[in-house]
A and B are shown apart, each in its own frame.
Chain A
């Protein structure tokens, strides 16, 4: 089993998977990742997953949107072709609020979706990265990096003890690539 890259414990029940996490952690075995078909509350804290940086991306896209929206309306309304509308000043700031706001929201939303797709390899034309196909169906998968954790028999027995239906020794990281 020297070619094994990842050991995957496949669980049929989320509670048993949570127990598997506890058992591996109690034996100082680092968990590479965990794949579940539905969200499980509290799993991030248990695995020590860092908070998502998506809000930072959202802020940056929003700030770009604010600048873009304001520049657009400033250029068209005040700089390129100033018009007297209802006797208002040539730069009526309150009028600029709705458009600046809308462009901020638009860029923020589109930017977040694009960032999310890029980060998760979901862009059209890109092969998705999946370690176990059934993780999107009915199985709860615990992945352990085989090179970082040498004692494969212990991992195997701990996973089975916790209730793993199947333990796989994958020689390739992603099974979705042909």
Chain B
């Protein structure tokens, strides 16, 4: 109100040109990743093969989570009728549009991992539920009505399939809005988003129980789902921020200014603290109760092999954003936000590393060409797919009913 008399002549229909150094680097990343993964899988050392699988699961899960966070972001903005994000909504939309591809990649990874016994061997072994077998595991047998191969795969397909369908329809409605205008698309997406958020909220914890927590099938934590959701949401926000800042640096998105960046920064700051809160709640209850079936998880992570990384995780994902983003001015500067977002993306890679490695390769963990190569490969793939998607559609949702409010957003 009050300052509506400026005249903006933004070209909301402009498209991102995906070419040059960005494209070359992302393709190079994919090539490096493929080479590292092939070398790892061809290795005669079975620990090396298992380590490659663990890394594939890590990056596949991370990739899917970031894309799912994009879909969650879009749905959340529509349901809350948020106006600040209307100008940059095409970026999370591009991320959510590639969720089907990410889901298929993760499905292939967990499928092959199950089949080759490189992943989930803790609960997926011959005779593990048979009392007469030497492999019999009473705890796993007790959980087998939930944790069995067909059930696991069906849940993976249903969960990721549902998220993908919603992400796809939401993006399609928004692109339709560009052509037709009017409120029809927005109203439809409002209903769909509300349904999606309920489904997403109830199923992501189960999805993370399956995909990550079942690597150590004896241990369980009801907090784990929220912990994973917090990690997913923070890393998704960090990815959105990185893309917004870089696309803006390339001379696009003229209508996105420091006020919108400030909001992204506040979300990242707040949810980094939420992540630490859930992390700490899970830790303190287990540490204080000191029951053997629960402490086994942290016992492994307190071995000298993991302990430095365990604590570095807290520094990167909680202390760093707390100190770097607490000030108003830092949230409004593109370069600082870019730095913090990249730091958080690396931090959550480490977070997933500490979640996944002790349950898979255990004491044979490493940090070498497989870890770096796989990470580069997936980062390249993500960049290539998202940027490619971004170049196909206009960067501004010109008929978004709240776009004008977004342009005047001020903090």
Contacts and interface: CB of A to CB of B under 8 A. Distances in A.
A9 B76 CA distance: 44
B291 to A, nearest CB: 11
Contacts of A55: 328
Contacts of A87: 290
Contact of A97 (B1, B2, B5, B280): B280
A42 B290 contact: no
A41 B410 contact: yes
Interface in A1-46: 14-15, 18, 40-43
Of residues B2, B284, B288, B289, which shows the largest number of chain A Cβ atoms within 10 Å of its Cβ?
B2
A125 interface: no
Given A18-B2, A86-B288, A94 B283 contact: yes
A18 B288 contact: no
Given A14-B1, A15-B2, A86-B290, A42 B410 contact: yes
Interface residues of B, number: 14
Nearest to A98: B284
A92 B287 CA distance: 10
A86 B290 CA distance: 8
A151 interface: no
Contacts of B284: 94-95, 97-98
Contacts of A18: 2-3
B15 interface: no
29 contacts: A14-B1, A14-B2, A15-B2, A18-B2, A18-B3, A40-B1, A40-B2, A41-B1, A41-B2, A41-B408, A41-B410, A42-B2, A42-B3, A43-B2, A51-B328, A86-B288, A86-B289, A86-B290, A88-B288, A92-B288, A94-B280, A94-B283, A94-B284, A94-B287, A94-B288, A95-B284, A97-B280, A97-B284, A98-B284
A55 B329 CA distance: 13
A53 to B, nearest CB: 12
Nearest to A92: B288
Nearest to A87: B290
Contacts of B3: 18, 41-42
Interface residues of A, number: 17
Interface in B189-206: none
Contacts, number: 35
Contacts of A94: 280, 283-284, 287-288
Nearest to A44: B410
Interface in A51-104: 51, 55, 86-88, 92, 94-95, 97-98
A98 B3 CA distance: 45
A55 B327 CA distance: 9
Contacts of B288: 86, 88, 92, 94-95
Contacts of B289: 86
Interface string B1-31: 1110100000000000000000000000000
A88 B288 CA distance: 8
Nearest to B290: A86
Going nearest first, the 10 A-B pairs with the smallest beta carbon separation are: A41-B410, A14-B2, A94-B284, A40-B2, A42-B3, A42-B410, A15-B2, A94-B287, A18-B2, A86-B290
Contacts of A41: 1-3, 408, 410
Contacts of B287: 94
A135 B327 CA distance: 32
A36 B410 CA distance: 18
A107 B1 CA distance: 36
A86 B328 CA distance: 43
Nearest to A15: B2
A43 B410 CA distance: 11
A97 B277 CA distance: 11
Interface string B275-310: 000001001100111100000000000000000000
A18 B289 CA distance: 62
Contacts of B280: 94, 97
